[in-house]
Structure 1
Amino acid sequence: MERILLGLILEFVGLHLLAQGQAVRRAARAFLSTAVRAEGEVIALLVSRVGVSQRPRPAHVYLPVLRFRTAEGTLVEARSPVGGNPAPAAKGDRVGVLYDPADPRDVRIDTVTGHGTTAGRLLTALGVAVLVAAVGVVVSGVW
């Protein structure tokens, strides 16, 4: 009975991770399908906490604030929703920027990890791994 309960919990977590991964990948692909490229500069790095406090210190994600000119010449400063640890770029770095022409404040650094597709792939892979573990727990009695 405990195996089945553990298997169900793992299945729920795996399906949730899989769904989140696919949602992140779809959003990243939608953004990339309309994004316009520009050259910009990282003008700041905002620190965002991830999860609950951990000892000796909580985990952080560094979100870049970018300054660039749109194709029309408008100067824009905006924070990317995609960051990392370590930071995806340092303050003062010149970077390629992708932005949504309908909303130029919707920006990403133009790198594989900056697009958000890598995070989606990782969540999807983790979801699949947890689902496989759930099957293993129920079928073979592992754990």
Structure 2
Amino acid sequence: MSQTTITILVGCIGLLFALVGGKLTIGALNFRKRARRTHGQVVGLRPRRSGQGVTYHPIVRFVTASGIPVEAETPSSGNPPPARPGQQVAVLYDPDAPTRIRLDTATGDGFLFSLIFLGIGIVLLVFAVVTALTR
């Protein structure tokens, strides 16, 4: 494969990462902007099988600001899980759709992941542009 082809490929991958990371970052910021904060308790774990094995999504029970009890599954998962049954957790929830929740942590709301994705995309894109311009 020629150096030009590799540069173009790296640039395309960088652009894709930057676009996806930007969309995820905007989505995380918009969610955080409209979300309400509360505290809840992890009442269970839902296992999910993936290519890497089993990950666990915490199921959280909390009460909204208007007094409605809610039980919802977080989109964040892991093995070990990000929170365990019985644990008190800070929760962000969408007041228009209270079952749409995120753990109020650096990694639980998706913002850090989206910034990493965006950063990788920008680095790859800049690398490809600088490589192309210095030839």
- Asked if Structure 1 and Structure 2 have the same fold, meaning a TM-score greater than 0.5 normalized by the shorter chain, the answer is yes
Residue 37 of structure 1 is matched in structure 2 by: 37
Note the residue ranges of structure 1 that are not aligned, 5 or more in a row: none
Q: 1:84 to 1:22 in 2, by over 3 A?
A: farther
**Cα RMSD (Å) of the superposition?**
2.3
**Within 2, Cα distance between the matches of 1:85 and 1:30?**
28
- CA shift digits 1:58-113 (9 cap, x unpaired): 26554222111111221111112233454322222100111010000110111121
Match of 2:103 among 106, 109, 117: 109
SS of the counterpart of 1:111?
A: coil
So what's the TM-score if we normalise by structure 2? Answer: 0.84
- Which segment drifts farther, 79-88 or 12-21? 79-88
Residue 82 of structure 2 is matched in structure 1 by: 88
**Within 1, Cα distance between the matches of 2:47 and 2:8?**
36
**Within 2, Cα distance between the matches of 1:116 and 1:2?**
37
Residue-pair matches, total: 135
Note the residue ranges of structure 2 that are not aligned, 5 or more in a row: none
Letter of the structure 2 residue corresponding to residue 119 of structure 1: F
Note if contact 1:6-1:137 (Cα within 8 Å) is conserved in structure 2: no
So what's the TM-score if we normalise by structure 1? Answer: 0.80
Q: What percentage of aligned pairs have identical amino acids?
A: 35
SS of the counterpart of 1:28?
A: helix
1:3-82 aligned at under 5 Å gives the runs 3-49=3-49, 53=51, 58=52, 61-82=55-76
